[in-house]
Structure 1
Amino acid sequence: MRTSNPSLNSKTFEQAAPGAGVMTIGGTVNKVGILLVLMLVPASYMFSKVLTNWDPNAAMGTAVMGAIGALIFALITVFKKTWAPVTAPIYAVLEGLFLGGISGVFEARFPGIALQAIALTIGTLFTLLLAYRSGLIRATENFKLGIVAATGGIFLFYMASIVLGFFGVQMPLIHSNGTFGILFTLFVVVIAALNLVLDFDFIEQGAEMGAPKYMEWYAAFGLMVTLVWLYLEILRLLAKLQSRD
């Protein structure tokens, strides 16, 4: 098995220690639902605070703290998979703080953009799930290799942008609302969406292999990572398109 999601790599299930019970697709879906609720509660709180004239600096400060905390617990989850039943929910709450804050900032500038991004993210999720389950899209080895390569390239490009930013060098392709900037972000959205297919395949294979029960939390966490990335890229794309009007 191969996936470009950093939290779901090809050795995840092979390295899992035997535990009580086994992983099931239904159980994983339930865990995804729980994580979504845990993420939406703080996200809704932050979103409403930003839109009710909360100090933008305070809002973004809380959002940044949430992002840093989410990253820390994401790394803990990746390296200590048996802790996923505890660390994955904490990750979801902290990620919710970040998403709510950043969504509120975008919403204040482009009214209605957050709901559009949410609708497109959910629509993409269920469309690809239907395509995967119907066999229209198959996670073949060549497909996986292509997505892994593209995701790795995007990651390196973003990292280079961050490093260069410390030296005052900007990469307009990422932030520009010009044609190339929009096409680049659209490409990233497509790659993020196709990562969902790899995640579906990975979860299905894990259930078939009878992975330990705690892996339901870990697999749900991995899918949430992809959904968060997809939502943020769709939000960025919509902002670029609306800023051109």
Structure 2
Amino acid sequence: MKTSNPVLARLGQAAERERSAGYAPPGQYGYGQPGIPQQHPGQPGYPVAPAAGTMTIDDVVVKTVALLGILGVSAAAAWVLVPDSLIYTAWIGAAIVGVVLGLIISFSRIANPALVVAYAVVEGAFVGLVSKAYETAYEGIVLQAVVATFGVFFVMAMLYKAKVIRATPKFVKGMIAVMAGLFAVMLINFVLAVFFDINTGLRDGSPLAIGFSLVCIVVASLSFVLSFKEVEDGVRMGLPQRYSWTAAFGIVVSLVWLYLELLRLISYFQGDD
């Protein structure tokens, strides 16, 4: 099955290689079916099957919930254990490590559950520290952002299921280009702000900052469509079960990004009192 997602295509190739490690049980790939000559292991052309179970939507749901649970525990631990005097330093460190792990996972040719779990732990610490800082400044803002985040997620899930929004090849390519551009802008802004103390106006509550956050929120919301499409294609391609961790990782990344952008946007309208 063809897919417009280059990462998924690589995973599909890896899954195809894995199929060469096992044999098909009766009833699969035509073996053992009426009217089809039966073959036996070792014979030329004998069909092969995955060495492990294939990925399902239920697998992705379970892994996503598990990662969110790990992320939540890590966030709570960071909130409680990291002293206020070290929040900023730990915040920056967790952000850098999280970006590095995220890039490794995204461009890896294999599914690595250990790396995905490590990302959830590190990103949880980052989210917890950011949330604590915002909650200290604006009481109740974290709950508002969490509710809004999952509200958007479920709306996008319903729109995708109803086929109101479809992940066409043009949509996928456009989204990848836009997300890459936004990531580059945010990375440059981060470096300028942290290491050179330069304010670009993208994160200071100005009209420009509000507009930029709105763009990020729209793109983060639409990124769920890519994740849903990735899950569907992965199931159809028969990827091994462990690749459900990679699919769950994509959903968690979008949720975290959307949450942080909503948190920031809400803070712009809280006022100084």
Superposition TM-score tier, normalisation by shorter sequence: 0.7 to 0.9
Question: How far apart are the structure 2 equivalents of 1:104 and 1:128?
Answer: 28
User: Which one is further off, 141-150 or 184-193?
Assistant: 141-150
Q: Which residue of 1 aligns with 2:222?
A: 194
Q: CA deviation at 1:79?
A: 4.6
TM-score (norm 1): 0.86
What secondary structure does 2:150 align onto?
A: helix
Question: How far apart are the structure 2 equivalents of 1:168 and 1:234?
Answer: 24
Aligned counterparts, 1:101-180, within 5 A: 101-165=129-193, 166-172=195-201, 174-180=202-208
Q: CA deviation at 1:10?
A: 4.7
TM-score (norm 2): 0.78
Question: How far apart are the structure 2 equivalents of 1:40 and 1:34?
Answer: 10
Question: How far apart are the structure 2 equivalents of 1:70 and 1:168?
Answer: 22
Number of corresponding residues: 236
Larger proportion of helix: 1
Q: Which residue of 1 aligns with 2:12?
A: 14
**Alignment-mate amino acid for residue 129 of structure 2:** G
- Structure 1's 121 and 106: CA in aligned 2 closer, same or farther, altered over 3 A? same
Question: How far apart are the structure 1 equivalents of 2:176 and 2:103?
Answer: 19
Aligned counterparts, 1:64-75, within 5 A: 64-75=92-103
CA RMSD in angstroms, aligned pairs only: 2.3
Q: Which residue of 1 aligns with 2:120?
A: 92
User: Which one is further off, 115-124 or 54-63?
Assistant: 54-63
- Structure 1's 163 and 40: CA in aligned 2 closer, same or farther, altered over 3 A? closer
% of aligned pairs identical?
35
Question: How far apart are the structure 1 equivalents of 2:161 and 2:67?
Answer: 23
- Structure 1's 135 and 15: CA in aligned 2 closer, same or farther, altered over 3 A? same
Q: Which residue of 2 aligns with 1:31?
A: 63
Question: How far apart are the structure 2 equivalents of 1:104 and 1:15?
Answer: 43
Question: How far apart are the structure 2 equivalents of 1:244 and 1:233?
Answer: 20
Higher Cα radius of gyration? 2
Could you list the runs of 5+ residues in structure 1 that have no partner in the other structure?
none
Q: CA deviation at 1:13?
A: 2.5
What secondary structure does 2:139 align onto?
A: coil
Question: How far apart are the structure 2 equivalents of 1:55 and 1:141?
Answer: 47
- Structure 1's 171 and 64: CA in aligned 2 closer, same or farther, altered over 3 A? closer
Q: CA deviation at 1:62?
A: 3.3
Higher relative contact order (CA 8 A, sep 6+): 1
